[in-house]
Amino acid sequence: MKDIVYPTNATMREKHFACRDLIERYLLIHNNVAEGFRNRLVLEPAPENPQEYKKKQEGGFIPEWVPEGLMVSDSPENNTLKAKFWTYYRESKAILKKLLAERNRLMENIRWANYTLEQWRAVSKLSIEEQDAIYHKLFVDKEIEEVKPTEATSHLLYELESLNLDDMGESKVADPPENLATYTEFDLNDHINRDMSEWLPYSGNPILVPVGAEDRIFITGVEKDGAIYNFFYTYVGAGGTRVIGRATSNDGRTLTKDGVNNPILEKGPPGKFDDNGITAATAWKEGTGAGCWRMLFTGINTLGAVAIGYATADNPEGPWTKQNSGNAVIEGGIAEWDEDDVETAGIMKVGSTYYCWYSKISVVRKTGLATSTDLINWTKDVNNPIFDSERFIANPFKYGGTYYLLIPHATNPPYYAEFELYRDSSPTFHVGDRTFVGIARTYASAGWDSYDIDAPYPLTDDIERDSYGASGNEMWCYYSGRTLAGDWSGGLLIESNIGNALSGRVQRVNFTDLGRDEDAWLYYDKGLGHFNGNFLHREKCYAIHVDSSGLAVVWMLANTVDDLKGIIDASEDSLSLSLADRFGLGYLRFELTECDGGATFSDLTNCGDFDTTYFVEIERDESVGLHGTLYAYICKDDYYHDGGTLEATISTVLHTNKKDFRDIYAVNTYNDSVALAISGWVDPFDLGETPARAGKNPFADLLGGGFI
């Protein structure tokens, strides 16, 4: 066969084994590609409603390999991946067809042991292991006990290897962080708690700050048009009046204010609903031509009443024209919960209907919903207010068929807010239908957003709020923050994996006043010998000063359940990384330690700062040294293997033998009976492990049936 080259003078039996070896090599390449494809698919939470769940399951969005509670997203990036995969699949199937044809040809020409053609065809349907048993029974060759078929070559395998998926981009779900909800906690003093992984702030924050006469910057709308990001923000201009400004950016992070056209929208004439100022504008582009730019904004009159108006423009810089004769389009009802107090929040379009969230901002803040098909005539939801108890400025969006909503919640009214995340199968988020996912962000412990946070705005491509090309298919959420002095600025949160950001997985473990005089830990028993050979674990960690010489273990492998000091005293084995406030000198110490039968070997660095997020990778490389070497790579901006800038590398050569471990600790104590404490968190806890997946053939459970 021209597609396969056999060694000269190879017997029929040798050719048969050689062809079988080629098929096995094909399957190895083939399954690796399938696994890589599957790992690149974006996952999202599965619907909790049984009927919706069944519909997604029947539609192929919940194959067996997907972790519980998640599903394959029907997202644009997934659709792109699937199209590329099917191109690969068709070409790959043609290659396999040729290999199987050659194998069948060989089998039909073998007549040993009086096997008929039908019998050999029956054999061909057996597993490789079952065929081996028959071959060794039938091919009694005392001189050659086992054939080594590795000499056969085929250009078909080179063709297969060339059909890669490298252009499909970075993996979206490979190596998902651990779900710490499944970990076992021992904590008598309640110093450990777990919650949803908070979204990370952009390192360049704040991205928009008041300058000169400006005051109180609020980013309330972002729309990318072509290559330009348009930011719409509120600020207090000359004369102390609130107006709407515009800024632009080429990357969504570095902003330039429009010094020519600002302010792009100002207060109305005397007697109008907005004659004392304009605030909280959300603008977007819909279609092309005249009036394709649209804006909902909040107007304040001289009596302090607040209502919502509507304006349009041909271009984002204006001029903007107020519609409805300059009158409000949404006002508070007389003697109703929203009387004289209606502020714009988020808006999205579902089909032909616009859903506008608005807030009551005085006294106890609440949030309601109104719908419209023309942006002028609005109908308020009969279930209003949808959110109460100091929840306000909600912003909706959609991902993979599920609706989400971010809403600030003032935990110490009227300040110190946190961003709550909800999901629903409907865009209405009625009580009883919606599901609370978790806290996406809280105010910072220090800095420009340490006193309050407000107005979360997830970046999407259009008013449907369901695609994310503008952010490179990441979660970008703009927001505003305030200092104690009252200075408001604009910032950005970035999560690289949208599915993980919205999953509500418990990925953060917090420790508060965790002392060296207590036993407390959070761990998972992965099973005997689970951590063997080389590995690369990742985590982000953060420490807050409490006491001089406070210490917490923020990563550990062991084969017994105890605190680190207890493991050392019991002459057990462990590998660990700890954070310590060393001797009150104002720096944070990272210490990497091996406990080898009670003997300890460690390396440390004093490079750390408190109140700082660190990206840490812990790697074991068993090819370095007699028994391997343990490394910790410490960065502030990103993980080292993802391009982060090293602050320090610490390492320790491992002793005695190459050890396997079963227990992984996300946090632990070192109980030497010293009453000194430390606080902080670890988030996320990523072991570089893909969830267990069912099915021998990745194609079979992925595509609903295999072809081999």
User: 215 to each of 209, 243, 408, 600, how far by Cα in Å?
Assistant: 8, 11, 21, 57
Using the CB atoms, write b or e for 71-84: b if 16+ within 10 Å: bbbbbbbbeebeee
Which residue type is seen at 414? P
701 pLDDT higher than 60: no
- Length of the chain counted residue by residue: 708
CB 394 within 8 A of CB 434: no
- Tell me the pLDDT tens digit for each residue of 190-234: 888 877 778 889 989 999 998 877 778 889 999 999 999 999 999
**Mean pLDDT of the 138-163 span:** 45
Fold of 180-197+506-686: Jelly Rolls (2.60.120)
Q: Is the pLDDT of residue 250 over 90?
A: yes
What rounded mean pLDDT belongs to the chain?
Answer: 83
Flag whether pLDDT at 610 surpasses 70: yes
**At 632, which amino acid appears?**
A
Asked whether 309 and 299 are in contact (CB, 8 A), the reply is yes
Q: Which regions of the chain carry the CATH code 2.115.10.20?
A: 206-503
Q: Which of 207-211, 570-574, 579-583 has the highest mean pLDDT?
A: 570-574
Q: 583 or 226, which is more confident?
A: 226
pLDDT computed for residue 235 by the predictor: 92
Q: What is the pLDDT of residue 172?
A: 34
Judge contact between 425 and 468, C-beta under 8 A.
no
Round to whole Å and give the CA distance between 399 and 411: 28
169-173, 185-189, 224-228, 704-708 — which one is most confidently predicted on average? 224-228
The boundaries of every CATH 2.60.120.200 domain in the chain are: 180-197+506-686
CA distance 399 to 46: 11
Does the pLDDT at position 173 exceed 60?
no
pLDDT tens digits along 294-323: 999 999 999 989 999 999 999 999 999 999
Is the Cβ–Cβ distance between 213 and 238 less than 8 Å? yes
Please determine, for residue 555, whether its predicted confidence score (pLDDT) is greater than 50.
yes
Question: In this prediction, what percent of the chain has a pLDDT beyond 70?
Answer: 82
pLDDT of 6 reads 66
pLDDT (0 to 100) of residue 108: 58
Instruction: Provide the pLDDT for residue 130.
Output: 65
- pLDDT at res. 41: 78
* Nearest C-alpha neighbor of 287 from the set 394, 219, 375, 220: 375
pLDDT at 551: 93
* pLDDT given for residue 229 in this prediction: 97
Give the model confidence (pLDDT) of 488-500 as tens digits.
999 999 998 888 7
- Say which range, 154-158, 523-527, 557-561, 653-657, has the weakest mean pLDDT: 154-158
Mean pLDDT of 100-107: 71
DSSP 289-345: STT-EEEEEEEE-TT--EEEEEEEESSTT---EE-GGG--SB-PPTTSTTTTB-EEE
Q: Where are the alpha helices (DSSP H) in 352-456?
A: none
Mean predicted confidence (pLDDT) in 414-441: 90
The pLDDT value given to residue 129:
59
Return the structure tokens found at 471: 């952010």
Instruction: Report the phi/psi class of residue 288: left, alpha or beta, with left for phi > 0 and alpha for psi in -120 to 50.
Output: beta
- Max mean pLDDT range (450-454, 483-487, 664-668, 690-694): 664-668
- Terminal Cα distance for the chain, rounded: 21
With beta carbons less than 8 A apart as the criterion, state whether 19 and 3 touch.
Answer: no
The answer on pLDDT for 293 being more than 70 is yes
Please report the pLDDT score of residue 124 as a whole number: 58
Q: Tell me which of 3.40.720.10, 2.60.120.620, 2.115.10.20, 2.130.10.10 is the CATH number of domain 206-503.
A: 2.115.10.20
